[in-house]
Amino acid sequence: MAVHIIPEHLYDLIPSRLTVAFSLTCLVFITVGSALFRRYKFMQECNKVPGPPVQIPLLGSFTDLFVDPDQLIPHFMNLYHKWSKRSPVLRVWMGPLPWFFLGAAESAEVVLSSNKIIDKSREYDFIQPWLATGLLTSTGSKWHQRRKMLTPTFHFKILEDFVHVFNEQSKTLVEKLTTKVGQDFDIFPFITLCTLDVICETAMGRHVNAQSKSDSDYVKAVYNMSHIIQIRQIRPWLRPDWLFNLFPYASEQQKCLSILHGFTDQVIRERKIEHKLLKAQKETNAKAGVKEDEFVSKKRNLAFLDLLIEASQDGKVLSDLDIREEVDTFMFEGHDTTAAAINWSLFLLGNNPEKQEQVSEELIRVFGNSDRPVTMADLNELKYLECCVKEALRLYPSVPLLARQLMEDTTICGYNLPGGATVLAAPFLIHRDPTYFPEPDCFKPERFFPENIRGRHPYAYVPFSAGPRNCIGQKFALMEEKVILASVLRRFHVKALDKPEGLPTLAELILRPRDGIRVHLTEKKFT
Ligand code: HEM
């Protein structure tokens, strides 16, 4: 006998299959409809910003996605100038996602000066397997705390101790370049290996001798890893982890990571032991009333890592993994950027012999015919060289784009940009705005004379970004650049073999020349 769980008089209340199907269909229609409506409103809002029209729904301005890498900068410059005549913001649909390029000081200021818009965009995710969430990639309270903790490590007094490292590595560079005198060659790899040596020594206190042993596993891993990060940023099908893992890049990345992290882990372990020994020695000496001569000499060779170990308070404030992410971040941020900047300076001086002559005169004034190392006092004297370095960073900013994720709707120069969108402050556009830099394509170091800077919009020149998330290493970078450039230019006259007009450049993680920097060096004769 069937058992009736539901009383018969309630059967009428159970909806028929037809009613259920109808209700479900309505629900689907309402959900899809409201999603489409929200998307429509979102696109309508985005499309109020000038920019090329959507060519294929969901694929956006399709043709903008398939530009040759070396044409990316000229292409976006053309788009910006075409669409943004009266607006300092350009909208481009990168597939279904809107990107907003900020090409003027006024629009960049809104984002860069903000204490709220500090989240990096999705493009930075591919750096995280290597750097985890170090200073460059972290956000929120973690970033705030770390920034506060790390700022004193870039104090002028600490940077002063690194000048001898810059000198030593520049000396090796000059020796390597001497073998190339009289030949046409690409100077880019020479400079890059030099800055890699500098950052290994200053960040970790270790010599990797990249200039002498460019085939070391660590050096190769740095390059391969940077290449993989780059590839993932520009090839949409490599973005999702599950797809990336199907390609050989994934196993190559694993190999690189084990070398990179293995090396940093080992250095951290060794330096911590040295710290403990030194501390014990200090205590013993203090008890015995002995002077700390040895400690003082050790202190002279402090690397960023030592300062982090000190700040870690035996793991209470920073764990070994926390230390590793910061050291790796310095390694990543601190060598390619500086190398590109030095290379572009040499390229521009090599194209402007009269400016190079002015630098040479300044070098003679400061150093005479001597080949003594550069001192901190000399660096303050090298004023024209510094203007050249700044002007090179204006024309060829090492970091061509500064990308942020909007976490909420934000008004920029009258446009309401929706939360979730990516905004990109573009130094390569901002720096060539004729309002602030007349004849923007000309190399004119005089633009950075104190009297010419006065009154310029503070966001018109942002090679190191600006505002709360600006480059923590900018003083270090300028000092390093000046020591290396002074060392090269005291010894050689540089002639660039390519002209700036039409030179193919790649806007990768950094802005680099596609075919390197081809130069011809002549040794200077001293009287
Ligand atoms: C010419 C050389 C350099 C240039 C042009 C440069 C440029 C920049 C720029 C534009 C940013 C902001 C990136 C963004 O918003 O996504 C940045 C951030 C950063 N840079 Fe540099 N940089 C240089 C050298 C260095 C050096 C030598 C170091 C370390 C030794 C360094 C460490 C950092 C770090 C840690 C950040 C993240 C700061 C934060 O988010 O709080 N940079 N750099």
Residue 150 has pLDDT above 80, yes or no: yes
Q: Is the CB of 138 under 6 A from ligand 1?
A: no
DSSP 109-151: HHHHT-SS---B-GGGGGGHHHHTT-TTT--HHHHHHHHHHHG
Task: Using alpha carbons, list the distances in angstroms from residue 186 to 10, 71, 191, 426.
Answer: 87, 21, 10, 28
CB of residue 463 inside a 6 A radius of ligand 1: yes
Q: What angle do CA 524, 526, 527 make, to 5 degrees?
A: 150
Q: Are the C-beta atoms of 519 and 351 separated by less than 8 Å?
A: no
Distance 41 CA to ligand 1 centre (A): 37
The response to whether residue 477 sits with its C-beta less than 6 Å from ligand 1 reads yes
- Report the alpha-carbon distance of residue 443 to residue 305 in Å, rounded: 38
Band of residue 292 on the pLDDT scale cut at 50, 70, 90: low
For residue 331, the CA-to-ligand 1 centroid distance in Å is 11
* For residue 298, pLDDT beyond 60: no
Helix and strand counts by DSSP (H, E) for the chain: 22, 11
ipTM: 0.99
Beta carbons within 8 Å of 283's beta carbon, 6+ residues apart: none
* Model pLDDT for residues 54-88, shown as the tens digit of each residue: 777 766 776 766 777 788 888 888 889 888 776 79
DSSP 183: S
Answer yes or no: is the C-beta of 200 below 6 A from any ligand 1 atom: no
Q: What is the pLDDT of residue 45?
A: 87
Say yes or no to pLDDT of 441 above 90.
yes
pLDDT digits (tens, 9 = 90+) for 237-273: 888 999 999 999 999 999 999 999 999 999 999 989 9
Would you place residue 177 in the very low, low, confident or very high pLDDT band (cuts 50, 70, 90)?
Answer: very high
Pocket test of ligand 1: the residue of 153, 169, 471 to mutate, having most ligand atoms within 8 Å of its CB, is 471
Q: Is the CB of residue 135 less than 8 Å from the CB of residue 150? A: yes
**Residue ranges at the known binding site for heme:** 471
Which pLDDT band, with edges at 50, 70 and 90, does 297 fall under?
very low
Whether pLDDT at 463 is above 90: yes
Residue 195 has pLDDT above 70, yes or no: yes
- Summarised one tens digit per residue, pLDDT across range 76-132 is 888 898 887 767 999 998 878 889 999 999 999 999 999 999 999 888 899 999 999
- Which residues are registered as beta bridge partners of 522? 493
Q: Is the pLDDT of residue 17 over 90?
A: no
Q: What confidence tens digit (pLDDT) does each residue in 307-322 have?
A: 899 888 888 889 999 9
Please report the pLDDT score of residue 291 as a whole number: 65
